[in-house]
Amino acid sequence: MVLNRRSGARPAHEAADLIERLTREAGRACRVHAVRRGAHVPAVARAAVEEARRLGGILVAAGGDGTLNAVAQEAYRESLPFAALPQGTFNYFGREHRLSLELEQALASLLKARPRAVQVGEVNGRLFLVNASVGLYPRVLEEREAATREHGRHRWVALWSGIRTVLRERRRLALRVELDGEPRLLEAATIFVGNNRLQLDRLGVAQAEALDHGQLVALWVRPLDPVSTLGLLWKGATGQLEQARAVESFGFRELEVESLSGATRPRWLKVAIDGEVLWLRTPLRFRPAPRPLWLMAEPPGA
């Protein structure tokens, strides 16, 4: 198990002790790798996956969506079963798959869990469990992380920092987009690709049902002035995003995005993947991953 010390309501040493005690009482072996910084999670997960393969075990992530993503990457690469103990701020992945947000209850469910195939998204070979995006949204996430380091990880901090970023942001993207083989040129404030029915439903995106048919869902947001963008955020917060004229949504199986800004190619774009921001080389190719992630989840009615 890879445990992010910065996630969850209880101190990390208490969480680790509780996990080890409850698994031991259930007759299971569990090795907890506690990580102090999110940037260290991928390296620790790579070491943990080797241990899990050698012992015939599973790989477990305890933390927010970013931690879950980093650990799931390694489990997926090695075709190992993956389990999640959601401990983050929004926990869209955990809530989508009905994983308890209470540590004791989540552990009790995990001890009865069986592997279940779930769809994950992919952009240039990187998995995403919940969403991936370019444009304004990655910058909102960067500002949010800076704000939470100063003021703590609270939802009101995330909201306040998001509004501040929207009011200051003026940049827009000139893009070439190819949707299932059809090219298109457009300007966008952001392109958001979702793989989480709960999140899309809460935003009010009618195309969310495309996820049930092996597709991903994209939102293209046209450039707006700051005041109009605040109105757009309000529509998203109240589940009315589909009604906004500045937003277009569609389901897809293949989406390619390339920046047309600047004189040099290929370019790199900032991409937010499950709340973590990184640079990827264009063109960006979004698609459902070619095989499922095997998620450990309690069978219905258990």
51-60 residue pLDDT tens: 999 999 999 9
What burial letters (b/e) apply to 171-202, b meaning 16+ CB within 10 Å?
ebbebebebeeeeeebebbbbbbbbbbbbbeb
pLDDT (0 to 100) of residue 240: 77
* Degrees, nearest 5: CA angle 179-202-156: 115
Is residue 66 domain-resident? yes
Structure token digits, residue 194: 């979702």
Q: Residues in the chain with pLDDT < 50?
A: 263
Whether the pTM exceeds 0.75: the reply is yes
Is residue 161 domain-resident? no
Q: Which of 111, 79, 109, 80 is nearest to 97 (CA)?
A: 109
pLDDT (0 to 100) of residue 224: 74
Contacts of 146 (CB under 8 A, 6+ apart): 161
Structure token digits, residue 75: 């489990």
pLDDT (0 to 100) of residue 90: 80
Q: Which of 131, 130, 1, 153 is nearest to 62 (CA)?
A: 1
pLDDT (0 to 100) of residue 153: 60
Answer yes or no: do 107 and 176 share one domain: no
Is residue 297 domain-resident? no
Is residue 244 domain-resident? yes
Residue numbers of the domain that contains 54? 2-111
* Degrees, nearest 5: CA angle 286-292-296: 130
